[in-house]
């Protein structure tokens, strides 16, 4: 319930860090719902996703961003890093996430980007559930964490929720006074169609090996809410003809497995039975094709 607008705080908080540190896991934990996909593979998130948390006295719009990485030549990867940079530029407050006990060159690079932005920033040291004794972390914290840079340093487990309430309190205090930016019941800026494509891509990342999942994209061709069960047709893009066979598998076994796992996720997301049809289409070089990336919302 939103009551007193005078003391209400609102604004954008960017969650940034190198791939796999747990940004999307934390977003889902904060929002209390799965709105961003999570896998053990780096570069899972490809586009920014806003997750909205509204309390009695604040509305925090969290921006989940793609992990900042060495982009190489592909336009898709460049667009992912750009999405993270834009979130840094748009945010009122920045949260950098790192993994407890790890401080890699990319973590250092992200920290420098945050410094350059000049925005207030917090450091979240995530995955502390993997640390047996918190004291073990002290030498690491002393070596890598420059307390002067951060408004606060928090030890968190996005997986089990430890430290997450403290993070919310700290963020509420740092955001400017202002009215809510979204209706209080809204939890994401993305629609069901986008989330459906993401859930299917999550299963592709889970089931496909090595580099193959990085070359896939899911395009929803039909999302018919009038039918019972709800009908979803989706096309999985792959970069090469040889990849098509790998996604389909022997006698269609792989695609069947991915379809089944996706359907279960979609049923949960939408709250009613879904009929899912999947196709695989070869789109050579889609990751570097500006028109394709524009049509799919990766670049403006």
Ligand X SMILES: Nc1nc2c(ncn2[C@@H]2O[C@H](COP(=O)(O)OP(=O)(O)OP(=O)(O)O)[C@@H](O)[C@H]2O)c(=O)[nH]1
Please tell me whether residue 20 binds ligand X under the rule CB under 6 A: yes
Running DSSP on this structure, what letter comes out for residue 114?
A: H
Q: Which does 215 bind (CB under 5 to 8 A by kind): Mg ion, ligand X, none?
A: none
Residue 261 · residue 207 · CB < 8 Å: yes
> Among 41-49, 170-178, 207-215, 254-262, which window interacts with ligand X (CB under 6 A)?
41-49
- Residue 47 sits in the site that holds ligand X (CB under 6 A): no
Rule CB under 6 A: say whether 127 interacts with ligand X. yes
Largest pairwise CA distance in the chain: 63
Binding status of residue 44 toward Mg ion by CB under 5 A:
yes
Complex with ligand X: residue 12 or 223, whichever CB lies closer: 12
121: β partners: 94
261-268, Cβ contacts within 8 angstroms, sequence gap of 24 or more: 261/203, 261/206, 261/207, 262/199, 262/200, 262/203, 265/199, 265/202, 265/203, 266/196, 266/199, 266/200, 266/232
Using the contact rule CB under 5 A, the part of the chain among 1-9, 16-24, 119-127, 289-297 near Mg ion is 16-24
C-alpha distances in Å from residue 73, one per residue of 78, 127, 205, 285: 8, 32, 22, 12
Of the candidate spans 102-110, 121-129, 137-145, 259-267, the one that interacts with ligand X by CB under 6 A turns out to be 121-129
Tell whether residue 45 is a contact of Mg ion (CB under 5 A): yes
Residue 58 neighbours by CB distance under 10 Å: 23
Q: Which stretch binds ligand X (CB under 6 A): 22-30, 189-197, 236-244, 277-285?
A: 22-30
Rule CB under 5 A: say whether 24 interacts with Mg ion. yes
Tokens, residue 54: 């509204």
Q: Is 23 in the site for ligand X (CB under 6 A)?
A: yes
Judged by beta carbon, residue 44 or residue 188, the one nearer ligand X is 44
> Is residue 121 a contact partner of residue 170, using CB atoms and an 8 Å limit?
no
Measured CA to CA, the distance from residue 255 to residue 264 in angstroms comes to 14
Among 13, 30, 35, 45, binds ligand X (CB under 6 A): 45
Residues of this chain that interact with ligand X (CB under 6 A) are: 17, 19-25, 38-40, 42-45, 66-67, 126-127, 129-130, 157-159
């Amino acid at each position: 319930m939103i009551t007193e607008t005078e003391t209400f705080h609102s604004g954008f908080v960017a969650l940034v860090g190198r791939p796999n540190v747990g940004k999307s896991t934390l977003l889902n934990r904060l929002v209390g719902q799965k709105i961003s996909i999570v896998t053990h593979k780096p570069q899972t998130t490809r586009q920014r996703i806003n997750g909205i948390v509204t309390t009695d006295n604040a509305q925090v719009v969290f921006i989940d961003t793609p992990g900042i990485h060495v982009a190489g030549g592909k336009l898709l990867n460049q667009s992912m890093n750009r999405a993270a940079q834009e979130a840094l530029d748009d945010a009122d407050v920045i949260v950098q996430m790192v993994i407890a006990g790890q401080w890699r060159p990319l973590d250092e690079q992200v920290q420098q980007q945050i410094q350059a932005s000049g925005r207030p920033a917090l450091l979240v040291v995530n995955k502390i559930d993997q640390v047996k004794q918190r004291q073990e972390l002290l030498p690491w914290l002393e070596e890598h964490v420059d307390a002067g840079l951060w408004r606060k340093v928090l030890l968190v487990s996005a997986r089990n929720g430890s430290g997450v309430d403290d993070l919310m309190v700290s963020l509420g205090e740092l955001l400017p006074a202002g009215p809510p930016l979204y209706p209080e019941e809204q939890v994401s800026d993305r629609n069901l169609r986008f989330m459906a494509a993401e859930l299917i891509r999550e299963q592709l990342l889970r089931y496909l090996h090595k580099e193959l999942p990085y070359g896939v994209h899911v395009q929803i061709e039909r999302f018919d809410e009038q039918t019972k069960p709800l009908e979803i047709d989706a096309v999985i893009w792959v970069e090469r003809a040889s990849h098509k066979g790998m996604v389909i598998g022997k006698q269609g076994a792989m695609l069947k497995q991915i379809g089944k796992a996706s359907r279960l996720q979609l049923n949960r997301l939408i709250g009613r039975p879904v009929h899912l049809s999947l196709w695989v289409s070869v789109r050579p070089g889609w990751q570097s094709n500006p028109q394709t990336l524009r049509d799919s919302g990766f670049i403006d």
